[in-house]
Amino acid sequence: MSRSRTNSGAGELLIELRRDSGLPLHQQLEGGIRERIQQGLLRADTVLPATRALASDLGLSRGVVVEAYQQLVAEGYLVSRIGGYTQVAPAAARIVQQDKPKSSAGGPPRIDFKYSRPDVTQFPRAAWLRSIRKVLNEAPHSKLAYLEGQGASELREALADYLNRVRGTSAQAENMLICNGFAQGSRLLLQVLAASGYRRLAVEDPSDDELRAVAAAAGLESVGVPVLETGLDVEALERSGADVVLVTAAHQFPTGAVTSAQTRTALVEWATRREALIIEDDYDAEYRYDREPVGAMQGLAPDRVAYAGTASKTLAPGLRLGWLILPDRLVEPMAEAKVVDDRGSSVFDQLTFADFVARGEFDRHLRRMRPRYRQLRDALIGRLAEKIPDLRPVGISAGLHVMTWLPPDLTEEALMPAALERGIGVYGLGPYWVQKPGPQGLVFGYGSLTEPAIVEGIDLLANAIAAVRR
């Protein structure tokens, strides 16, 4: 059966490169081709120019083009065919939404500033594949049986070493539990706490609203405690009557506040005096840009802090890999709850991640992603300052999102639909307030966007603001 395809092997490929940018040329070329595939502009089986021809057209060395092609092959966007030519992979092109609207008030946004989305196109497929092969070749048959509720000992040991070294925790393999992301880990933990007699959960105000519904389902009452520039208001926590509190100490969501040393000490003293528990959600602490690393609270009081981490922001949410460091008294009931819930997480994924961490691939991936995310953050902050200077950003020194306060003449209710009409997804603070509505603002996620998309998105948002003000 004959197949028609666009043969651009002897033609050209329009990719714009910025030589004054801090991003290496091979990464710019990767990003340009990847974005064209994602947008459906390079269709399945399209043959790309030969490396020498493209290098000549773009004024690059052939090695730069070869490196870009090899990375995209490793990620599954391209395939190398016998005969020496490179094509767009059919599997990569099939996932593209062909009829994505330029702008539609009723459809998904074309440029979406949704928070907490990492750049999954940068998943280290080649390194992950090496770990998969090693596990398949070397894992004993006994590992394919049912595991204990805490998860594979190899992964717990590898993560304990990593977290103690990088996050300053006081973790031991026997105190760790592997779960399917923070969603499962937090749900099981709140269920166990409720069964143990805990009654009231304090949450940061503002904070992510998902856990409040989980707490209610477990039988816990939720109460909001204000967030100050130095972290949770401990005096308000004292008055709340809570016996468990959830904090995002290293980079508060959504304000970006960093919990100070004094506030950390006060929280630990509160938990000790009340015989309470602190749940520390360390969701994106690995990404820091303008400040020194901030260690985890768990290292200060291992018997009073349950630490939660996840690979969702650092690698990919689809892996569904998370972990808890638990006080001694919670290890056994949590392991039992995990077994009852799903009989344990995938052993192949656990052993693969264990090898990935132990070989230093996790560290290397994070070192590669930090400057990439920092450049995206800088593009966002710079364009906001240039086009919409009265949006005041806060919490910009870490993470994958930035929050901005709105000036008095703008509201979230008016601005969000105006932006969506122009194909831009922006998100207000409204859902995150617990006790009562607070100041108005927007939360910008930038991890999954490209620099050109960020620039265009802010330009269109500026147009939306002008229209609202008119």
Say if CB 280 and CB 327 are below 8 A apart: no
| Residue 357 pLDDT | 97
| Residue 83 pLDDT | 64
| Residue 256 pLDDT | 92
Over residues 186-217, the pLDDT tens digits come to 999 999 999 999 999 999 999 998 889 899 99
Tokens of 455: 């620039």
Closest CA to 450 of 458, 440, 461: 458
Give the CA dihedral 260, 292, 357, 319, nearest 10 degrees: 60
Write b or e for each residue in 282-307: b if 16 or more Cβ atoms lie within 10 A of its Cβ, otherwise e: bbbbbbbeeeeebbbbbbbbbebbbb
Give me the half-sphere count of Cα atoms (radius 13 Å) on the Cβ side of residue 153: 5
Strands 424-425 and 111-112: parallel
Identity of the amino acid at 328: D
The sign one gets for the Cα dihedral 369, 372, 376, 381 is positive
| Residue 104 pLDDT | 44
Q: Among 1-10, 70-79, 284-293, 334-343, name the one with the lowest average pLDDT.
A: 1-10
Considering the chain, what is the average pLDDT of its residues? 90
pLDDT at residue 103 above 60?
no
The residues near 145 (Cβ < 8 Å, ≥ 6 apart) are none
Which stretch of DSSP H or E encloses residue 270? helix 261-274
Say if CB 49 and CB 43 are below 8 A apart: no
pLDDT at residue 317 above 80?
yes
Closest CA to 8 of 33, 38, 35, 39: 33
Identity of the amino acid at 333: P
Over residues 28-40, the pLDDT tens digits come to 899 889 888 888 8
The alpha carbon of 42 is separated from its chain's Cα centroid by a whole number of angstroms, namely 27
Q: Among 20-24, 136-140, 145-149, 415-419, name the one with the lowest average pLDDT.
A: 20-24
Strand order across the beta sheet in which 441-445 lies: 392-394, 401-405, 441-445, 427-428
Over residues 235-245, the pLDDT tens digits come to 999 999 999 99
Identity of the amino acid at 119: D
The sign one gets for the Cα dihedral 134, 137, 138, 140 is positive
User: What is the average per-residue pLDDT within 110-114?
Assistant: 95
Query: Between 106 and 411, where is the model more confident?
Result: 411
All structural domains of the chain, each given as residue ranges with its CATH number in brackets, are: 25-94 (1.10.10.10), 111-117+364-469 (3.90.1150.10), 125-359 (3.40.640.10)
**348 exposure class (CB count in 10 Å sphere: 0-12, 13-18, 19+):** middle
Question: Is the link from the previous residue into 206 a cis peptide, with omega within 30 of 0?
Answer: yes
Closest CA to 227 of 199, 212, 211, 246: 246
Which residues, listed in sequence order, are joined to residue 280 by a DSSP beta bridge?
247, 307
Phi/psi of residue 371, each to 5°? -65, -30
Phi/psi of residue 8, each to 5°? -105, 15
Over residues 375-386, the pLDDT tens digits come to 999 999 999 999
Residue 235 to residue 281: CA distance in whole angstroms: 21
pLDDT at residue 98 above 80?
no
- Alpha helices by DSSP H, listed for 167-260, are 181-195, 210-218, 234-240
| Residue 9 pLDDT | 42
The angle, 0 to 180 degrees and rounded to 10, between the axes of the packed helices 25-38 and 62-75 is: 40
pLDDT at residue 105 above 60?
no
Strands 401-405 and 392-394: antiparallel
Q: Tell me the Ramachandran region of residue 189: left when phi exceeds 0, alpha when psi lies from -120 to 50, beta otherwise.
A: alpha
| Residue 116 pLDDT | 78
Q: Among 98-112, 134-148, 223-237, 383-397, name the one with the lowest average pLDDT.
A: 98-112
3-class DSSP state of 229: coil
pLDDT at residue 97 above 50?
no
Residue 375 to residue 454: CA distance in whole angstroms: 11
Identity of the amino acid at 270: W
Residue 161 to residue 295: CA distance in whole angstroms: 15
Over residues 59-94, the pLDDT tens digits come to 899 988 988 898 888 888 898 876 668 888 887 766
The number of residues in the chain equals: 470
Over residues 386-419, the pLDDT tens digits come to 999 999 899 898 899 999 999 999 999 999 999 9
| Residue 468 pLDDT | 96
Percent of the chain having pLDDT more than 70? 94
Say if CB 101 and CB 110 are below 8 A apart: yes
- Radius of gyration of the chain from its Cα atoms, rounded to whole angstroms: 24
Query: Between 145 and 3, where is the model more confident?
Result: 145
Name the DSSP class of 248: -
Please give the span between the terminal C-alpha atoms of the chain, in angstroms, as a whole number: 60
Number of H helices, E strands in the chain: 15, 16
Query: Between 319 and 294, where is the model more confident?
Result: 319
Residue 111 to residue 140: CA distance in whole angstroms: 47
Name the DSSP class of 145: S
pLDDT at residue 319 above 60?
yes
Query: Between 449 and 96, where is the model more confident?
Result: 449
